[in-house]
Chains A and B, each alone.
Chain A
Amino acid sequence: KAGVTQTPRYLIKTRGQQVTLSCSPISGHRSVSWYQQTPGQGLQFLFEYFSETQRNKGNFPGRFSGRQFSNSRSEMNVSTLELGDSALYLCASSLVATGGSGYTFGSGTRLTVV
């Protein structure tokens, strides 16, 4: 079966712009969570969606937002980009909320802010 698909794979944006990243979960998975990975901070939890509702949110500013559609696909939006937002953004899907069955990760979107 198809894995978790993230698009685009690479993205270069300018400070102040906004960006939208997409994540398609494994078929049948209803939970999608998002993470930011940087060399200094490691993998940090952004938020999790389950059945179109945000269940949990990490400690990120309001510039980071997301949503989930009825087909479980999810998008993440970052507004007013800053240089420090340069990172690998990973999403993961699971059957149930909060990864009770383990998370499956996508290959990520590498965002560079210049």
Chain B
Amino acid sequence: EDKVVQSPLSLVVHEGDTVTLNCSYEVTNFRSLLWYKQEKKAPTFLFMLTSSGIEKKSGRLSSILDKKELFSILNITATQTGDSAVYLCAGLDDKIIFGKGTRLHILP
């Protein structure tokens, strides 16, 4: 059965810290890995990763995919209180399979 596992489930850090969120996947016919940020209701798209070893960056956020080891990481540097959210990872084949998310809380 296809599955996506995220760790840690929750994380509390201080503003300015750097965090690394993990996502491992077992997805038949894997095509891409997606990262989303969910603050209240609508998850917002962060990254889509298709090729192994190529880092994608957007400001203080970056992500990379390892297709050999079947995992991805999401890094957030110089965290801010506005980064507090649930971060969702999803594997994509002919459907999308979400992990249960990492709840990140940034203390001021």
Enumerate chain A interface residues (CB-CB to B < 8 A).
3-4, 33, 35, 41-45, 48, 55-56, 58, 88, 90, 98-100, 102-108
Beta-carbon contact of B41 and A103 below 8 Å: no
Interface set, chain B 74-108, CB cutoff 8 A to A: 88, 90, 92-101
Q: Which residue of B lies closest to A3 (CB)?
A: B42
**Can you identify 11 A-B contacts, CB atoms within 8 angstroms?**
A3-B42, A41-B100, A42-B98, A56-B95, A90-B43, A98-B93, A104-B45, A105-B44, A107-B40, A107-B41, A108-B42
Beta-carbon contact of B34 and A99 below 8 Å: yes
B19 within 8 A of A: no
Q: How far is the CB of B5 from chain A (nearest CB, A)?
A: 11
For the A-B complex with A102-B34, A103-B96 known, give 18 more contacts whose Cβ atoms are closer than 8 Å: A33-B96, A35-B98, A42-B88, A42-B101, A43-B43, A45-B95, A45-B97, A48-B95, A88-B41, A98-B94, A99-B96, A100-B31, A100-B32, A102-B48, A103-B45, A104-B45, A105-B36, A108-B41
Q: Which residue of B lies closest to A39 (CB)?
A: B100
Q: How far is the CB of B4 from chain A (nearest CB, A)?
A: 9
Q: A99 — which chain B residues lie within 8 A by C-beta?
A: 32, 34, 92, 96
Beta-carbon contact of B94 and A56 below 8 Å: yes
Beta-carbon contact of A43 and B48 below 8 Å: no
Q: B93 — which chain A residues lie within 8 A by C-beta?
A: 98
Q: B100 — which chain A residues lie within 8 A by C-beta?
A: 41-42
Q: Which residue of A lies closest to B44 (CB)?
A: A105
Q: A55 — which chain B residues lie within 8 A by C-beta?
A: 94
- Choose among A41, A44, A56, A103 the residue with the greatest number of B CB atoms under 10 Å from its CB: A103
Q: How far is the CB of B65 from chain A (nearest CB, A)?
A: 15
Q: A3 — which chain B residues lie within 8 A by C-beta?
A: 42
Q: A48 — which chain B residues lie within 8 A by C-beta?
A: 95
Q: B99 — which chain A residues lie within 8 A by C-beta?
A: 42
